């Protein structure tokens, strides 16, 4: 029943504050002395309620009963039902007033005053009535507040997303302008060199004519008019050539001015690029932060590929531990480390290749040496930075598992996993770096010995051909870019030289065989040329070239290692050459930055795994689905490259 307007109740009857609320009420008529007058229970509803009584709304009341109520010669026995009480509230009341409000409809209001009602139940009734009365405006207010908050949050997220996208686009524009400025300088330099060659040739010609003139003049005593004519012609030629020389010198001056202006423009663009690059790479770290699951600490490896949208690959998690550590987010790093220490499922000591990020359950029941070794590497880097040795036992447990595999193998090499027979240079490089770190921290010979075994195996099986500096694995001549980059990072240039290897040749080989320039379509539809490194030589695949963000970043780390190596040796020319390549490929990676494709990503910058989706890498797996899928490994390793962090070496 709809509530009755208070205007229908006479003012003199509204003695007490009344609350508009509705409860079902059963009532029956009694004599004033308490005897039952009418045993049948009738139905009514509260229209208003106060501490002393209620206004009762009754539908279809018999006219004779209405007259009886109007004369106020009877009492009412009440049973009031409210939701908070399992039993109705019983009360006895007197009639104060009666009003017929709908005429022929036989609907009435009856004002009654309690003669008796239990005090506690009356208080409960009033408390519930107040709460019910306040519920609607409070609920509406909360809805309004929540809606306003949601709207503001959506607006702020929209602005943040737009700002992040704009930041990425600004970097793309500056990189494009910088590339054009560099091309302009190269064109000007080529023009200058051409003019200098012309000027040199002209000067040689002038000297030749002047020499001929001097010779002719020395003979003029014995010559006739014809010889004098030749001398005059030589003078004219010298004058003409001198004028041409002046024109060339003016052009050279103009070109030098253009070169100077282009240089200033490039310098300004480089300054802008440095600022925008730093801002964008910091935003990339924000992307790594906001995707960490607050409950498990894990992060989905690929944002955008729906088939593996919730997968956290162990290798990627190991990279994240190191990234969080480098950015002083130790709690985030510890969340992942605690997962591996206490929650991650292991099989005979082996971590699995992947887990679900939302609950930590296994996502892939494959066990390989590389991901396990990288967890160990991450622990060592965390320990080195924080001096927290809480996870040293876990690192040594991983080492024991790998050493058991090493001892069961051939020649000290480490197989790809406990259930496979193949060997990988990459995994043995990981093991060499990990065991060296453990030996450095613990001083235990078992680890230095294990590192030497891994090295002996690589020297014998993967570094044994001058024409192919690094094999992918034992008996496998396939070229894998990461084995070249990680040879520099894990072993180091000097150690490679000591082993009879040439680190410069290693870098040259991968540049010549795996360096590519491909077309990349940015999220805004813009097409841009990207220089970088493929997973394998382009000639060995039918898909054409593809740039890997992670493996290009690995090469940048190696370039910086080579730069530092030659700086220490005092070879500034070689150092500068490697440094320029590192910066060039970092800029190329900047051109690959995309905005996070998810709503939670807020448009933060990240790197796709490669310039093409769902293509064969040439090493047994394909790039993720989704043309703009954010990659944890690509994004994290690019941050390593930018800050010059080598995860395969402990540094003080």
Note whether 601 and 291 are within 8 A (CB): yes
- Please report, for residues 14, 130, 261, the alpha-carbon distance to residue 11 in angstroms, rounded to integers and kept in the order given: 5, 22, 91
Highest mean pLDDT out of 41-50, 360-369, 409-418:
360-369
Helix (H) or strand (E) holding 68: helix 63-70
Q: Which pLDDT band holds residue 3 (cuts at 50, 70, 90)?
A: very low
Listing DSSP states for 623-649 in one string gives PPSSTT-EEHHHHHHHHHHHHT--TTS
- Please report, for residues 249, 373, 633, the alpha-carbon distance to residue 403 in angstroms, rounded to integers and kept in the order given: 72, 11, 27
Report the alpha-carbon distance of residue 78 to residue 116 in Å, rounded: 10
Looking at residue 39, what is its pLDDT?
65
Query: How would you write 603-619 as a 3-class SS string?
Result: CCEECECECCCCCECCC
Two structure tokens written together for 151: 């709207």
pLDDT exceeds 60 at position 225: no
Looking at residue 403, what is its pLDDT?
96
- Please report, for residues 106, 323, 324, 330, the alpha-carbon distance to residue 298 in angstroms, rounded to integers and kept in the order given: 69, 13, 12, 14
Note whether 645 and 322 are within 8 A (CB): yes
Q: CATH 1.10.287.1490 spans which residues of the chain? A: 161-290
> Does 6 or 494 have the greater pLDDT score?
494
The least confident of 231-240, 389-398, 537-546 is 537-546
Highest mean pLDDT out of 186-200, 255-269, 348-362, 610-624:
348-362
Note whether 577 and 507 are within 8 A (CB): no
pLDDT exceeds 50 at position 16: no
Note whether 636 and 329 are within 8 A (CB): no
Q: How far is CA 167 from the centre of its chain?
A: 15
Highest mean pLDDT out of 12-16, 22-26, 173-177, 442-446:
442-446
Note whether 60 and 40 are within 8 A (CB): no
CATH class entry, domain 6-117: mainly beta
pLDDT exceeds 60 at position 352: yes
Which candidate, 640, 536, 648, places its Cα nearest to that of 284? 640
Question: What are φ and ψ of residue 111, in 5° steps?
Answer: -90, 125
Which candidate, 488, 487, 475, places its Cα nearest to that of 411? 475
Count of other CB atoms within 10 angstroms of residue 121: 17
pLDDT exceeds 80 at position 482: yes
The per-residue pLDDT of the chain, averaged, comes to 83
Highest mean pLDDT out of 81-90, 148-157, 274-283, 603-612:
603-612
Count of other CB atoms within 10 angstroms of residue 117: 21
Q: Which pLDDT band holds residue 549 (cuts at 50, 70, 90)?
A: very high
With residues binned 3-state (H G I as helix, E B as strand, rest as coil), the percentages for the chain, rounded to 5, are 55, 15, 25
The mean pLDDT of 434-450, rounded to a whole number, is 97
Note whether 290 and 300 are within 8 A (CB): no
Q: Which pLDDT band holds residue 196 (cuts at 50, 70, 90)?
A: confident
pLDDT exceeds 70 at position 396: yes
Looking at residue 72, what is its pLDDT?
81
Highest mean pLDDT out of 151-160, 206-215, 417-426:
417-426
Looking at residue 249, what is its pLDDT?
82
Q: CATH 2.40.10.220 spans which residues of the chain? A: 6-117
CATH class entry, domain 296-461: mainly alpha
The mean pLDDT of 634-650, rounded to a whole number, is 95
The least confident of 2-16, 90-104, 281-295, 362-376 is 2-16
Which candidate, 187, 383, 339, 163, places its Cα nearest to that of 266? 187
Instruction: Name the DSSP class of 5.
Output: P
Architecture of domain 161-290: Orthogonal Bundle (1.10)
> Does 6 or 196 have the greater pLDDT score?
196
pLDDT tens digits for range 295-327: 999 999 998 778 888 999 999 999 999 999 999
> Does 341 or 197 have the greater pLDDT score?
341
pLDDT exceeds 70 at position 333: yes
pLDDT tens digits for range 103-145: 545 678 888 898 888 888 888 888 877 777 777 677 777 777 7
> Does 270 or 496 have the greater pLDDT score?
496
- Please report, for residues 467, 536, 538, the alpha-carbon distance to residue 545 in angstroms, rounded to integers and kept in the order given: 23, 9, 5
Looking at residue 522, what is its pLDDT?
79
Pairing state between β 36-49 and 24-30: antiparallel
pLDDT exceeds 80 at position 430: yes
Count of other CB atoms within 10 angstroms of residue 138: 11
Note whether 456 and 474 are within 8 A (CB): no
Q: Which pLDDT band holds residue 15 (cuts at 50, 70, 90)?
A: very low
């Amino acid at each position: 029943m709809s509530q009755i307007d208070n205007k229908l109740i006479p003012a003199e009857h509204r003695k007490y504050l009344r609350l508009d609320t509705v409860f079902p009420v059963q009532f029956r008529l009694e004599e004033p002395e308490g005897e039952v007058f009418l045993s049948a229970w009738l139905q009514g509803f509260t229209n208003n309620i106060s501490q002393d009584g209620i206004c009762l709304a009754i539908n279809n009341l018999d006219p004779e009963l209405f007259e009886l109520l109007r004369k106020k010669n009877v009492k009412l026995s009440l049973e009031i039902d409210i939701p908070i009480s399992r039993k109705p509230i019983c009360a006895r009341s007197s009639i104060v007033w009666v009003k017929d409000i709908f005429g022929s409809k036989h609907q009435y209001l009856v004002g009654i005053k309690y003669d008796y009602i239990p005090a506690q139940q009356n208080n409960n009734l009033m408390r519930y009535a107040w709460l019910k009365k306040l519920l609607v405006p409070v609920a509406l207010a909360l809805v309004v507040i929540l809606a306003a908050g949601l709207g503001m949050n959506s607006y702020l997220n929209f602005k943040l997303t737009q700002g992040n996208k704009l930041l990425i686009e600004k970097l793309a524009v500056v990189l494009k302008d910088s590339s054009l400025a560099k091309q302009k300088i190269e064109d000007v330099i080529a023009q200058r060199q051409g003019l200098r060659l012309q000027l040199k040739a002209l000067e040689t010609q002038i000297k030749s004519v002047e020499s001929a003139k001097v010779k002719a003049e020395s003979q003029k005593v014995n010559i006739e008019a014809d010889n004098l004519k030749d001398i005059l012609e030589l003078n004219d030629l010298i004058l003409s050539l001198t004028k041409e020389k002046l024109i060339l010198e003016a052009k050279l001056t103009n070109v030098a001015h253009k070169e100077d202006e282009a240089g200033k423009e490039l310098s300004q663009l480089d300054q802008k690029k440095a600022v925008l690059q730093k801002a964008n790479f910091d935003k990339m770290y924000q992307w790594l932060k906001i995707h960490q699951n607050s409950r498990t600490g894990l992060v989905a490896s690929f944002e955008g590929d729906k088939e593996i949208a919730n997968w956290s690959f162990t290798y990627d998690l190991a990279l994240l531990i190191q990234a969080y550590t480098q950015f002083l987010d130790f709690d985030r790093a510890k969340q992942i480390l605690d997962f591996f220490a206490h929650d991650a499922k292991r099989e005979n000591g082996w971590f699995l290749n992947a887990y679900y990020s939302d609950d930590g359950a296994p996502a892939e029941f494959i066990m390989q040496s590389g991901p396990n070794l990288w967890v160990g590497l991450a622990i060592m880097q965390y320990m080195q930075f924080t001096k927290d040795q809480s996870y040293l036992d876990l690192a040594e447990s991983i080492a024991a598992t790998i050493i058991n595999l090493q001892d069961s193998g051939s020649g000290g090499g480490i197989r790809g996993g406990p259930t496979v027979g193949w060997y990988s240079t990459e995994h043995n490089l990981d093991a060499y770096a990990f065991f060296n770190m453990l030996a450095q921290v613990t001083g235990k010979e078992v680890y230095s010995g294990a590192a030497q075994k891994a090295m002996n195996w690589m020297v014998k099986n993967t570094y044994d051909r001058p024409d192919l500096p690094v094999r992918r694995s034992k008996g496998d001549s396939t070229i894998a870019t990461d084995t070249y980059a990680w040879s520099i990072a894990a072993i180091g240039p000097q150690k490679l030289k000591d082993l009879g290897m040439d680190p410069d040749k290693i870098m040259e080989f991968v540049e010549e065989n795996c360096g590519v320039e491909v077309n990349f379509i940015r999220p805004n539809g813009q097409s841009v040329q990207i220089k970088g490194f493929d997973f394998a030589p382009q000639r060995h695949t039918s898909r054409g070239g593809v740039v890997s963000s992670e493996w290009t970043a690995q090469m940048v780390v190696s370039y910086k290692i080579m730069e530092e190596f030659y700086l220490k040796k005092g070879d500034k020319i070689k150092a500068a050459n490697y440094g320029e390549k590192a910066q060039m490929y970092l800029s190329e990676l900047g051109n690959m930055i995309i905005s996070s494709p998810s709503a939670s990503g807020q448009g933060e910058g990240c790197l796709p795994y490669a310039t093409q989706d769902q293509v064969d890498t040439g090493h047994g797996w394909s790039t993720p689905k989704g043309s703009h899928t954010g990659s944890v490994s690509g994004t994290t390793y690019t941050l390593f490259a930018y800050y010059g962090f080598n995860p395969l070496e402990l540094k003080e």
